[in-house]
Amino acid sequence: MTPSLLSLLRKVDTPTVCNAIEVAQGKRGFDRFTRGTMLSSAPNEPAIVGYARTAKIAAVHPPTEPQELIKCRRMAYYKYMAEGPNPSVAVIEDVDYPDCIGAYWGEVNTTVHKGFGMSGVVTNGVMRDLGDLPEGFPVVAGSIGPSHGFVHVREIDTQVSVFGLTVNSGELMHADRHGALVVPEDVVDQLEAAVQKLLTTEHIILDAASQPGFDFEVFETAWSTFEKARV
């Protein structure tokens, strides 16, 4: 991922990237995105962009493993998050879903992960401390709640599933208040041009519709031009 692509991806929303991937692929049908409604802690901040660092947590019940093992795994988790290539994104599956209760993502934990240089979080789990989370580190989560429950790390550097999206460690992610997606590796080198093409062609319709005198005839002409431009 080049610096110019990273800068562009942070400026555009996830639906734009979703459409741009199809432009790069030359067809509809891209399906590596989340399903359902997710919540963003910072809907007006730039998009989350980075390489996935994955883990699984649970919180409804106390852990049954020895406490020393739980503590050791927790420190191994933080080491894994701290040492990954940046930009990176924490992608966390709460295995209690859809009955998640443990807010793993509050003021302390988000500040720690931001300090590691990470870009944000995508999770099906719970966030809290809204209003106290650090600026520039959005959390895209499944719910909001007050308690951390018995939250503990179950697995690190593992395949996870968040709102129907399967994610492997190291995959390039894009997320915002609309949800999240995985950028296919084979379109990364085409994605910047695809985003620019998409934005240009959309303005054929948007500009026409914003002008006085816009009617069906103007729309029909603009749509024809739009269709030809995006082929």
49-78 pLDDT tens trace: 999 999 999 999 999 999 999 999 999 999
Q: How many helices (H) and strands (E) does the chain have?
A: 6, 13
Q: What is the DSSP string of 90-149?
A: EEEEETTTTS---EEESHHHHHHHHHTT--EEEESSEE--TTTSPTT--EEESEE-S--T
Question: Which of 62, 91, 58 minimizes the C-alpha distance to 157?
Answer: 91
Question: Which of 117, 120, 109 minimizes the C-alpha distance to 86?
Answer: 117
Question: Which of 39, 22, 200 minimizes the C-alpha distance to 105?
Answer: 39
pLDDT at 14: 98
Q: How far is CA 194 from the centre of its chain?
A: 19
What is the rounded CA–CA span in Å between residue 122 and residue 93? 9
pLDDT at 84: 86
Beta bridge partners of 155: 56
pTM (2 d.p.): 0.94
Q: Indicate the domain borders of the chain.
A: 12-29+184-231, 31-183
Structure-token match 């240089």, residue found: 117
Question: What tokens were used for 34?
Answer: 């989340």
Question: Which of 192, 226, 184, 194 minimizes the C-alpha distance to 209?
Answer: 226
H or E element at residue 154: strand 152-156
What is the rounded CA–CA span in Å between residue 94 and residue 102? 9
Local structure of residue 171 (DSSP, 8 states): -
Q: How many CA atoms lie within 13 A of 78 on its CB side?
A: 13
8-53 pLDDT tens trace: 999 999 999 999 999 999 999 999 999 999 999 999 999 999 999 9
134-158 pLDDT tens trace: 999 999 999 999 999 999 999 999 9
74-128 pLDDT tens trace: 999 999 999 989 999 999 999 999 999 999 999 999 999 999 999 999 999 999 9
pLDDT at 231: 58
What is the rounded CA–CA span in Å between residue 98 and residue 119? 25
Residue 230 has pLDDT above 90, yes or no: no
* Domain 31-183 grouped into CATH 3.40.50.300: no
Q: Are 124 and 97 in contact (CB under 8 A)?
A: yes
Q: What angle do CA 109, 97, 70 make, to 5 degrees?
A: 50
